[in-house]
C-alpha cells in the first residue's frame, strides 16, 4: 500500500466515523431533551 492509499483510507474512514458520531450524538442529545422530566419527589 502506498502512502497515498493510506491517506485515502484514513481520511475516508475519519470522515465517515466523524459524520456517524456527530449525527448519533445529536440524535441521542435531542432524545434526552425530548423525554419528559422525571416526576417530582413526594413532599
Partner 1 sequence: MARERWGSRLGIIMAVAGSAIGLGNFLRFPVQAAKNGGGAFMIPYFVALLLVGLPLMWIEWTIGRFGGGFEHSTAPGMFHTLWNKNRFIKYFGVIGIFGPIVIYIYYVYIESWLLGYSWFALTGAYNPCNTQEKMAAFLHGYQGVEQNAYFSGLGPAYLFFVITFATNILILYGGIQRGIETVCKYGLPLLFVLGAVLVARVFSLGAPDPAVPENNVVNGLGYLWNPDWTALARAKVWLAAAGQIFFTLSVGIGVILTYASYLTPKDDVALSGLTAAAWNELAEVIIGGSVVIPAAFAFFGPSATTEIAKGGAFNLGFVTMPLVLQQMPWGHLLGFAWFVLLFIAGITSSISLAQPAIAFLEDEFDLSKKEATLLFGLNTFVLCHACIFFLGSGVVDELDFWGGTFCLVLFATVETILFAWVFGTEKAWTELHVGADITIPRVYRFVIKYLTPAFLLLILGFWLVQEGIPVIMMKNVPAANVRYVLGTRILLVALFADLAAMVWFAWRRRRAKEAVA
Binding to partner 1 in span 2-41, by CB under 8 A: 2, 4-9, 11-13, 15-17, 19-20, 23-24, 26-27, 30-31
Residue among 4 and 39 whose Cβ is closer to partner 1:
4
What is the C-alpha to C-alpha distance for residues 37 and 5, in angstroms, rounded to an integer? 50
What is the C-alpha to C-alpha distance for residues 3 and 9, in angstroms, rounded to an integer? 10
DSSP code at position 6: H
Task: Give me the residues that bind partner 1 (CB under 8 A), please.
Answer: 1-2, 4-9, 11-13, 15-17, 19-20, 23-24, 26-27, 30-31
Amino acid at each position: 500500500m502506498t502512502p497515498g492509499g493510506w491517506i485515502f483510507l484514513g481520511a475516508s474512514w475519519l470522515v465517515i466515523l466523524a459524520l456517524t458520531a456527530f449525527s448519533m450524538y445529536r440524535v441521542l442529545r435531542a432524545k434526552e431533551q425530548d423525554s419528559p422530566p422525571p416526576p417530582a419527589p413526594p413532599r
